[in-house]
A and B are shown apart, each in its own frame.
Chain A
Amino acid sequence: MAAGSKFPSVEKAAGQDSDHDDLPHESIKDAVIRFAGNSQDGIQTIGGFLARLAGRSAREVMTYMTIPSTISGGPSIFQVHLGSGEVLSPGDEADFLVTFYQHSYDAHIESLREGGVCLYDSDNVEPNLDDKRFKLVGVPITSTSIEAIGGTAKDRGKNIFVLGLVTSIFNLNRTKLTEIIERQFKGKGEDVFRNAMLAFDSGYSYPLGKIFDKTFDLKHGESKDADRVTTDGNTALAYGLIAGGVRYGAGYPITPWSPIMETLRAELPKYGGNFSQAEDELAAVSIALGASYAGHLAVTGSAGPGLSLKMEALSYATMAELPLIVINVQRGGPSTGLPTSVEQSDLLQAIYGSHGDCPRVVLAPQDVEDCFYIAIEACRIARKYSVPVIVLSDQALSSRIEAFPEPDFETTVLPPELDQEPRDGSFKPYPLDGPTRHAPPGTRMTGGKYPVVTGLEHDEWGHPTANPQLHQQMTDRRRDKIVQLGEEIPTPEIFGGESGDVLLVGWGSTWGPIREATLKARDEGLKVSSIHFRHLHPMPNGIGEILERFEHVFVVEMNDQGLYGHGQFATLLRARYCDSRIQSITKSDGLTFKIREILAGIESGRKAVPAK
């Protein structure tokens, strides 16, 4: 977010996206627009439309929303950060706030930056007109939209009316937006679409001259791909799994994982597979393991509480060396915790949650686009090493919308494979000196002996044994193949300078905010760099050399500082590198990192720990 550079002095710019040209245009690089209302007002819908429009206009976009955890609805926001350059976070503060109710105004006016615009529904909101920090603009949203559609529509068209208004205020491309609205509403009936367009046009043609002395013109995007796809993290993850060759799976509903299983249930039959809704998470992981044993790479998933229930079966998968993909969309814990808020507090559970020595692969996507690619990476690793792989997404990634270039399916898609070539008498699923290779049922064993896969310790043929030497050798084997994976994954690139004062370390969805904080700090002349991990366990090699080149190291993560003052990933890094300079910037408020929180963390951390 280029704060300060926004809303500069009025300059006349050609209306690039709109024919709405009766007021002067002010050219801006990015805008954070926050809609605050109730969840039933459809603000998610219009936020989604704006995000999609950005994707189709070579712009960057990131959205952020809060959802009440009750079904009957309640206060909710949807924030859209649109930009012509790189957009890395949903934005600390809003430039433009739309409030539908008094409670929305009261709760969100402080999230507006000074000098920002608050557009309020003058039918419902009485603003504090003495507050001169903001430009307060009243529009009778409720009554005007009822007028447009007719009384029976009640509150229905308010969101689309506001969308029309925003389109005109920001000179957005009306034609493209109309297409997006049409695609969304046509399927629901001609009437629904017509009403939507009535509301939209009424908002679009609202006389802006009465309330503004200028409109804003969002600069055209710098992205090379004009035609990008726009979607949320859960959707990207679900299709990444399909692209990775997953055709079978099972799950049990839980927020925020459910949309992934809903997508897979609807989609997998098209690819010849199926997805089962299980009676619980223990059954879900077992069904998926059954499909994996039968020769099809399968998926199960959940959020924190459900991951706990899968742990026993995951130990089995490690012992039996069966491939499996486990998606865990993290939310606030422990227990039911904050089901609709974000946290990165399942890392240690994912790595260490099972009984026994159970080395496990854990990955985390860094943004929405990466949800697609990390799923494919998980499939690749699970197959190559015949191991369970846990993917840690989170609530913020699951629902936020971003635009990114369409994947090249021809080169990324991994076809499913079922290897039933007959095996001869020399068949060994667990050779001490080679990779795991199972013979799925249906395979003819020409040597006459058929394999039994077991959770008991076993020899190279899979035969149970309690031989002390073999337990040591097999423990080595299960560990060493994960270590070998660690050698194969690339060392993360340093963002910023190759050496300096501060190194920020992140994993998962904090990628954008950490990157933006790094840029901001460097703008202010600080020698701050950052590295980011997608492979958390095993972590890549070469990290120690990077740490040494910085005076301070701060691991930024959305979890608690723990008993000894270090977040979960920081604890792992400290264990690996015995480097006491590794410090933590953590938080547990259920919200994503704001840029200023990271910067404040650096400042106080540098004071607390003097450089070496």
Chain B
Amino acid sequence: MPTATPAPAAQPEEKLTKKDLTGDHPTWCPGCGDFAVLAAFYKVLEKLQIPHEKIVTMAGIGCSSRFPYFVNSHGLHFIHGRALPLATGISLSRPDLHVFVFGGDGDGFSIGGNHLDHAARKNVNLTYVIMDNFVYGLTKKQTSPTSPIGFKSKTDPAGSVDRPINPMKKLISGGATFVARTHAAQVKHMMEMFERAIRHPGFSVVETLSECVVFYKGAFDDGNPRKGGVFEEIEEKKWDSTPEDDKRHDVTDEQNAYALADLRYPGKFGVFYEVDEIPTKNHLEQQLAEQAQKKTEGAGAVDLLKKRFSLMK
């Protein structure tokens, strides 16, 4: 059985408000998509009322990875690409905490790409928001692993030649147990995805298309109705035995999730994949500890060490 995310406190002493959660003033460029992600995160935390001191936000390096400074909570700004293993250490040693990781496409899919697969397959209990802008923002416009072929960057002045990765497919095949995709210009949808991700027991990821207005302006207009694009949501099965339901997406259907992930850009938005019955690593490790301590009848460190050393005589 998966361990549920620790339940939000039923009766918090004082209501946690956006004001409490507001940290430093963001240093992002005016118009950067990341502002909307931050605003949505505040709102979801306000709704869930997680005890303030139990919230931990952390990130690697990048524009998006400056996120922890802008949230007034326990936080950590780590090194490029390693936020997930760091978060793994926090989550596994402190199951009482709510662990949130934020970062960019370079941080998550390139330098941290291997960690993503392993945190996913281990189903570490945490929530990860990848703010994907298809470019390296902080280092000023180099090709990212999600840049489309032909994207002209400083490292690809003639247009990018390498095929971009498919984030949804990578995450699902990696073993993530909650995989969703949203758009920073669709605040309501983004909030819904964040909330479901947080409530999911285990490793939950939301890829959020978040525009870099300086180095890749207009990248996500095709998915933004206000810019003439189409924001098409995945219709999830309602299990209502209607003929329409046959066409809807079963979030536990991996094959269909891959099919959705293969749709032409801008594709669809929503929950691609979600399974609840896979145990979290947190739960499995806790079980190991409980079983071991049952065997030793909860002996303390001094007694355990004495016993072990007596076998070396």
CB distance from B175 to the nearest CB of A (A): 13
- A406 — which chain B residues lie within 8 A by C-beta? 309, 313
Q: Does B86 contact A287, Cβ atoms closer than 8 Å? A: yes
Judge if A383 is at the interface, Cβ distance under 8 Å.
Answer: no
B90 touches A313 (CB 8 A): no
Question: Are B97 and A276 in touch, CB under 8 angstroms?
Answer: no
B289 interface contact, C-beta 8 A: yes
Give the contacting residue for A313; candidates B56, B79, B289, B293; CB below 8 A: B79
A448 near B20 with CB under 8 A, answer yes
Contacting pair A452 B68 (CB below 8 A)? yes
**Count of chain B residues near A, Cβ 8 A:** 53
| Chain A residues whose CB sits within 8 angstroms of the CB of B299 once the complex forms | 270
Do B304 and A270 have beta carbons less than 8 Å apart? Answer: yes
Residue among B114, B115, B295, B301 facing the most chain A CB atoms (10 A cut-off)? B301
Which residue among A227, A284, A291, A451 has the maximum number of chain B CB atoms within 10 Å of its CB? A291
Are B97 and A441 in contact (CB-based, < 8 A)? yes
> Does A396 belong to the interface (CB within 8 Å)?
no
Given A230-B312, A280-B114, check contact A274 B285 (CB 8 Å): yes
Residues of chain A within 8 A (CB-CB) of B292 are 269-270
Q: Residues of B contacting A435 with CB < 8 Å? A: none
Shortest beta-carbon distance, B76 to chain A, in Å? 5
- Residues from chain A with Cβ under 8 Å of B289 in the complex: 269-270, 272-274
A450 to B45, alpha carbons, bound, how many Å?
16
Determine if A293 is an interface residue (Cβ-Cβ < 8 Å): yes
Tell me the minimal C-beta distance from B303 to chain A in angstroms.
8
Could you say which residues of chain B place their CB within 8 Å of the CB of A276? 88-89, 92
CB-nearest residue of chain A relative to B122? Answer: A276
8 A Cβ contacts from A246-303 to B: 247-248, 250, 267, 269-274, 276, 278-280, 282-284, 286-296, 298
The interface residues of chain B lying within 8 Å CB-to-CB of A298 are 89, 93
- Chain A neighbourhood of B189, CB < 8 A: none
Whether the pair A55, B305 counts as a contact (CB closer than 8 A) is no
B306 at the interface (CB under 8 A from A): yes
> What is the CA–CA distance of A313 and B73 in the complex, to the nearest angstrom?
23
With CB as the reference atom, state the residue of chain A lying closest to B54.
Answer: A442
Q: Are A452 and B76 in contact (CB under 8 A)?
A: yes
Is the Cβ of A242 less than 8 Å from the Cβ of B301?
yes
On whether the beta carbons of B293 and A290 are closer than 8 Å, the reply is no
The yes or no answer to B267 lying at the interface (CB within 8 A) is no
* Contact between A248 and B93, CB atoms less than 8 A apart: yes
Q: B266 contacts the other chain (Cβ, under 8 Å)?
A: no
Q: How far is the CB of A196 from chain B (nearest CB, A)?
A: 18
Contact B305 A413 (CB under 8 A): yes
Tally of chain A residues near chain B (CB < 8 A): 69
8 Å CB interface, B267-313 against A: 285, 288-289, 291-293, 295-296, 299, 301-302, 304-306, 308-309, 311-313
Complex CA distance for A270 and B308, rounded to whole angstroms = 12
B89 in complex: contacting residue of A269, A288, A316, A451, CB < 8 Å = A288
Using an 8 Å CB-CB cutoff, how does the interface string of A215-256 with B read, 1 for contact, 0 for none?
000000000000111110001000100110001101000000
- Contacting pair B304 A286 (CB below 8 A): no
- Given A298-B89, A452-B68, residue A443 in contact with residue B305 (CB < 8 A): no
Binary CB contact string for chain A from 455 to 475 against chain B (1 if under 8 A, 0 otherwise): 110000000100000000000
Encode B245-271 as 1/0 by CB contact (under 8 A) with A. Answer: 000000000000000000000000000
Contact status A450-B89, CB under 8 Å: no
Q: Output the least CB separation between A188 and chain B (Å).
A: 16
Flag if B306 contacts A286 (CB, 8 Å).
Answer: no
Interface residues of B in 111-153 (CB under 8 A from A): 114-115, 117-118
Q: Assess the A243–B305 pair: CB atoms within 8 A.
A: yes
Q: What residue of chain A has the Cβ atom nearest to residue B308's Cβ? A: A239
Say yes or no: is B87 at the interface (Cβ < 8 Å to chain A): yes
Shortest Cβ gap from B90 to chain A (Å): 4
Which chain B residues in 1-46 approach chain A with CB under 8 Å? 20, 23
Write the nearest CB–CB distance from A56 to chain B, whole angstroms.
6
**Interface readout for B67-100 with A: 1 if CB under 8 Å, 0 if not?**
0110011111111011001111111111011000
B205 to chain A, nearest CB (A): 17
Contacting pair A279 B114 (CB below 8 A): yes
* Neighbouring B residues of A279 by C-beta, 8 Å: 85, 114-115, 117-118
Q: Is the CB of B74 within 8 A of A227?
A: no
Chain B proximity of A53: nearest CB distance (Å): 11
Q: Is B52 part of the contact surface with A, judged by Cβ < 8 Å? A: yes
User: Shortest Cβ distance from B13 into chain A, in angstroms?
Assistant: 10
Q: Nearest CB to that of A265 among chain B residues? A: B288
* Selected contact of B85 from candidates A287, A451, A454, CB within 8 Å: A287
Q: Give the Cβ gap from A416 to chain B, nearest Cβ, in Å.
A: 8
- The complex places the Cα of A243 from the Cα of B88 at a distance, in Å, of 24
Residue B53 interfacial (CB < 8 Å): yes
Contact B78 A283 (CB under 8 A): no
B295 nearest in chain A by CB position: A270
Known contacts A269-B293, A312-B79, A441-B97: A248-B74 contact under CB 8 Å: no
CB distance from B227 to the nearest CB of A (A): 34
> Does A483 sit at the interface, judged by CB under 8 A?
no
A290-B93 CB under 8 A given contacts A269-B289, A280-B114:
yes
Is the CB–CB distance between A452 and B90 below 8 Å? no
- Chain A residues within 8 Å of B114, by CB: 279-280, 283
User: CB-CB < 8 A to B73: which residues of A?
Assistant: 450
Knowing A282-B82, A441-B54, A448-B20, the reply to whether A229 touches B77 (Cβ < 8 A) is no
Bound-complex Cα distance A450 to B289 (A): 31
When the two chains form the complex, which single residue of A248, A288, A409, A448 contacts B305, counting CB atoms closer than 8 Å?
A409
Interface residues of A in 397-452 (CB under 8 A from B): 406-407, 409-410, 413, 415, 439-445, 448-452
A285 to B311, CA, bound (A): 32
Does A502 have its Cβ within 8 Å of any Cβ on chain B? Answer: no
Shortest beta-carbon distance from A399 to chain B in Å: 15
The reply to whether B92 and A291 form a contact with Cβ atoms under 8 Å apart is yes
- Distance in angstroms between the alpha carbons of A440 and B89 in the assembled complex: 13
User: Of residues B86, B88, B117, B302, which shows the largest number of chain A Cβ atoms within 10 Å of its Cβ?
Assistant: B86
Judging by beta carbons under 8 Å apart, are A441 and B74 in contact?
yes
Cβ-defined partner of A270 (8 Å) among B75, B79, B86, B293: B293
Do A294 and B89 touch across chains, with their CB atoms under 8 A apart? Answer: yes
* Distance between Cα atoms of A313 and B96 in the complex (Å): 25
Complex: A55 Cα to B312 Cα, angstroms: 9
Pick from B56, B295, B308: contact of A441, CB under 8 Å? B56
- Known interface pairs A273-B289, A406-B309; A455-B77 also in contact (CB < 8 Å): yes
Q: Are A451 and B77 in touch, CB under 8 angstroms?
A: no
Min Cβ gap A245→B in Å is 8
Please name 18 further chain A to chain B contacts, defined as beta carbons within 8 Å, in addition to the given A239-B305, A279-B114, A450-B74, sorted by A numbering. A242-B301, A269-B293, A272-B293, A276-B92, A283-B82, A283-B118, A286-B79, A287-B88, A290-B90, A294-B94, A313-B82, A407-B305, A409-B306, A441-B56, A442-B96, A444-B53, A455-B79, A464-B69
Can you report 18 A-B residue pairs in the complex whose CB atoms are below 8 A from each other?
A52-B312, A229-B309, A270-B293, A272-B293, A273-B93, A276-B89, A279-B114, A286-B88, A290-B89, A290-B92, A295-B93, A296-B94, A316-B79, A410-B302, A413-B305, A441-B94, A455-B77, A455-B79
The 6 closest A-B pairs by CB, nearest first: A290-B89, A286-B85, A441-B74, A283-B85, A452-B75, A287-B89
